[in-house]
Amino acid sequence: MEILTAEHVSKQYAGHKALDDVSIAIPRGSVYGLLGPNGAGKTTLIRIINRITAPDSGRVCFNGHEIAPDDIYRIGYLPEERGLYKKMKVGEQAIFFARLKGLSRREAVARLKSWFRKFGIENWWDKKVEELSKGMAQKVQFIVTVLHEPELLIFDEPFSGFDPINANLLKEEILALRDKGS
């Protein structure tokens, strides 16, 4: 069964066709990549899947039904434009995002501590985001994206800002999450 389908999705902005009759089916437990040149509509499709933007036509289904607002809690989305607040402390911000995805503060802290240990970033908890390099901030953003253990993970340019060692670490974690059911 497909976890996600997009059927005949089209989107136009001010006369420019960003998507033209796009259909895709993603089986549960798979890893897919959207490839194409800049301006091909990859990010537009991702935004439609996440209900950030509505399609002009077509539909998106999640677990066999048209995607609904509550389904967004079961999706983890790492956007290309990073959304961390530079003046907030890393731990405080990570808890904030976890709470938005429905985790209790206690559960969020426990999961965050585990992920921070896994990534070797325990000492970042009280740092402000503005003190982090792009790659360091990317690790935090990744953790926040996967923390609520979503059924579907969507990453837009996930390896941007990573050196080869950290890109490989991230790849390994993505595959491990797939093996656990995301």
Average pLDDT over residues 151-163: 86
Residue 79 and residue 30 share a domain: no
Residues 88 and 174 in one domain: yes
Q: How confident is the model at residue 62 (pLDDT cuts 50, 70, 90)?
A: very high
Confidence class for position 99, pLDDT limits 50, 70, 90: very high
Residues 55 and 117 in one domain: no
Is residue 38 located within the same domain as residue 111? Answer: no
* pLDDT on residue 20: 95
pLDDT > 90? residue 117: yes
Tens of pLDDT along 63-90? 999 999 999 889 999 887 778 889 999 9
61 and 75 both lie in a single domain: no
- Does residue 98 carry a pLDDT above 90? yes
Parent domain of 9: 1-67
Pairing of the two strands 65-66 and 57-62: antiparallel
Checking if the pLDDT of 95 tops 80, the result is yes
Task: Answer whether residue 182 shows pLDDT above 80.
Answer: no
Highest mean pLDDT among 99-113, 133-147, 155-169: 99-113
Domain boundary among 43, 67, 91: 67
Residue 17 has phi, psi (to 5 degrees) of: -80, 110
Q: Tens digit of pLDDT for each residue in 40-53?
A: 899 999 999 999 99
Mean pLDDT of 25-38: 89
pLDDT of residue 126 exceeding 80: yes
pLDDT at 15: 87
